[in-house]
Amino acid sequence: MDARQTYLQEVYPRLLPPLSERYPLVSLSPGPGWKPLGEQRLLMLVALTGTGKSTALDIVSRRLGGRGLDIIPTRREVADWIAIPLAQHWVGDALSPTPDRVKRFEYTRRFAKRVEGGMAAAFSWLNLAEDYAGTLLSEGIRGENEIRFALSHFPRWRIVELALHPLTRLRRLSGRREAFDQAAGEADLSFLPPELRDEAAELFRAGEISEKALTITRAEATNYGLYPFADGAAFGNYQRLDTDGCAPEQVAEAIIEILQRG
């Protein structure tokens, strides 16, 4: 039995409430009236934690009159509904919510080791109502493996990656107050390139970088790296936006321009 069959037969029936209560246009069970998400036109915004993707997408959605977002689940929700419970099932853990972000990275990494494409593949397990013909926006994938898988397998998806200097991301993450940012750890700088460690240490001592931000970013880097996808130029459906020094409104305008170009 492959991973998707295992999920549909042994895991999904144990999860409540049904995904369709939150997303009526989405089904995890393929069939008449539903079309795989991998065959849909979708703009997938890719960015690591602290890059500003959620803020940019909210601005884009407002400027589009509320269209595009909230049609399909977010990355967190797909992780909660597919990757994490399936990984828990494989290791014999109870199917339960996992708020700690480091633990979440461990489960999603285990999922990616057994499912080619990781979370990009998990998104492709979703099915969208055939009669939906509107804009689709998401921020559901991360890192080289997921990006390469999506670009290679889903040519109708347009991948737009936001790039921001790692220390700028750490400062942003240290300053935000989001309930999802839960992590226990220590101030370990070893995951950073040697040329950034001294500056990062100074920022940490000055209180501009927090222990929590370092813990989250280190765990994220283990799964997805620190830098943008290096081979984007080889794919016509990939575009990178360097956002250092850009306001969220400028990033949103660039995304809208890409959408309008089709």
Q: Which of 57-66, 139-148, 182-191 has the lowest mean pLDDT?
A: 182-191
Average pLDDT over residues 73-94: 96
> Domain 3-166+236-261, what architecture?
3-Layer(aba) Sandwich (3.40)
Q: How confident is the model at residue 233 (pLDDT cuts 50, 70, 90)?
A: very high
Is the pLDDT confidence value at 232 over 50? yes
Report the candidate in 99, 108, 36 with the shortest Cα–Cα distance to residue 79.
Answer: 108
pLDDT of 179 above 50:
no
pLDDT digits (tens, 9 = 90+) for 115-142: 999 999 999 999 999 999 888 999 989 9
Amino acid identity, residue 231?
D
**pLDDT tens string 27-63:** 998 889 999 999 999 999 999 988 988 889 889 988 8
Backbone torsions φ then ψ of 238, nearest 5 degrees: -120, 140
Give Cα 226 to chain centroid, integer Å: 14
How much is the average pLDDT of 170-192?
72
At 181, the pLDDT band (50, 70, 90 cuts) reads very low
pLDDT at 18 over 80: no
What's the residue count for the chain?
Answer: 262
Tokens of 141: 């994938």
pLDDT at position 260 is 84
The pTM for the full model equals 0.88
> What is the layout of strands, in order, in the sheet containing 26-27?
26-27, 127-129, 34-36
Confidence of residue 92 (pLDDT cuts 50, 70, 90): very high
Q: Given a cut of 90, is residue 230 above it in pLDDT?
A: yes
Is residue 185's pLDDT more than 60?
no
Q: Which of 67, 74, 76, 93 is nearest to 14 (CA)?
A: 93
**pLDDT(221) > 80:** yes
**What average pLDDT does the structure give for the chain?**
90
pLDDT band at 216 (very low <50, low <70, confident <90, very high): confident
Please check whether residue 148 is in contact with residue 181, taking contact to mean a CB–CB distance below 8 angstroms. Answer: no
